[in-house]
Amino acid sequence: MTNPQNAKIKVAIIGAGGWGLQHARVFTARPDVEVVALVGRSLEKTRERAAQYGLPFYLNIQEMLVKTKPDLVTVCLPNQEHFEPTLEVIEAGVPLLVEKPLVFEMEQANILLEKARAKELFFAINFNHRYATPVQKARAAIEAGQLGEINFATWRFGGEGSSSHPHANLIETQCHGFDMLEYLCGKIDSVAAQMTDKTGGGYRTLALALHFQNGAVGSMLGSYDSSYAYPSTHRVEINGDKGHAVIEDTVRQFSLQTVGNETAEVWQAGYFNDRDREFHRTFDKYLDVMMDAFKKGEEPPVQAEAGRRALQLAYAAIESFTSGQRVAV
């Protein structure tokens, strides 16, 4: 898509929940956007959210598409309810941004991507963790060769969650881990998994052993039987033959240390730097890059294919656990 110099982009938001709030917050604050609609599922909740931002609201996607003719639609619904609304937007031929996970089934992911490709649609997914300042600093250090040859990488992420899907933690939360590790360290080519359902409600805790195409190894540890209140609930560690990098709590801190050096270089947001300190602002940063690409008619910086890739890795982990064998991806 190309846009006239000063024309505002008409955006419609599908979703009136917690992340719908973040989408409404970010898009209504952008001077290059006119939010033309908010679509929700329940009248009371949708009306309340729409009133909060002074937006017209709808309870029907097709009605909204016909009446408002948005340039871009953003889909932020409960995790297991992404497929049909996303498909409806794609079939209408409207460019879109979707929340993670893309969907829960590979067949559904394939359908969405094939139909979007056939219409040559801009189709982005919100893997906003990539745009946290510590993550960007880790990426820059790796690209500059400061870590040397990476030999291992670990991801740990524990919090609270509940879902009717037995592999919800793996698919809807640890998808960030799959995406992050490949973003920083390259393609994963095999997975071996251990999981437990000892607390009920599915496989809420899991440990994965990973192998990368470049020869490095890795690990992922995730749980819904933990707490976001715990210190260092999220940690990424990347080790190379020249240096070592650590990301703490996504936005909290980045440290870089070279071999043999007992002093680390540390970044953390300063007193007045609320933007870099707040996790939700990673979405603002991502949108700055995404909207710039959209206006220029370029591909999304994080294409929806990344959502399919995370799902593919999740199903490889499920196959490994079920079979007791390492699974190539």
Q: What is the pLDDT of residues 231-272, one digit of tens each?
A: 999 999 999 999 999 999 999 999 999 999 999 999 999 999
Fold entry, domain 129-277+311-328:
Dihydrodipicolinate Reductase; domain 2 (3.30.360)
According to DSSP, residue 128 is labeled G
CATH classification (class only), 9-121: alpha beta
Q: Report residue 1's pLDDT band, with 50, 70 and 90 as the boundaries.
A: very low
Query: CA torsion sign, 154 to 229 to 173 to 53?
Result: negative
Cβ atoms of residues 196 and 203 within 8 Å = yes
Q: For residue 7, how many C-alpha atoms fall within 13 Å in the half-sphere facing its CB?
A: 10
pTM, two decimal places: 0.95
Q: How far apart (Å, rounded) are the C-alpha atoms in residues 250 and 255?
A: 12
Query: Tokens 């700055």 label which residue?
Result: 288
pLDDT of residue 206: 98
pLDDT tens-place string over residues 100-142 = 999 999 999 999 999 999 999 999 999 999 999 999 999 999 9
Q: Which residue has the higher pLDDT, 18 or 253?
A: 253
Q: Where are the domains of the chain?
A: 9-121, 129-277+311-328
Query: Tokens 């745009």 label which residue?
Result: 131
Please compute the mean of the pLDDT values over residues 148-153 and round it to a whole number: 98
Structure tokens that stand for 249 in this block: 């709590």
Average pLDDT score over the chain = 96
Cα angle value 315/117/98 (rounded, 5°): 60
pLDDT of residue 7: 86
CB atoms within 10 A of CB 177: 27
pLDDT of residue 44: 93
Query: Tokens 């994965």 label which residue?
Result: 208
Q: How far apart (Å, rounded) are the C-alpha atoms in residues 282 and 251?
A: 8
Q: Report residue 6's pLDDT band, with 50, 70 and 90 as the boundaries.
A: low
Q: Report residue 162's pLDDT band, with 50, 70 and 90 as the boundaries.
A: confident
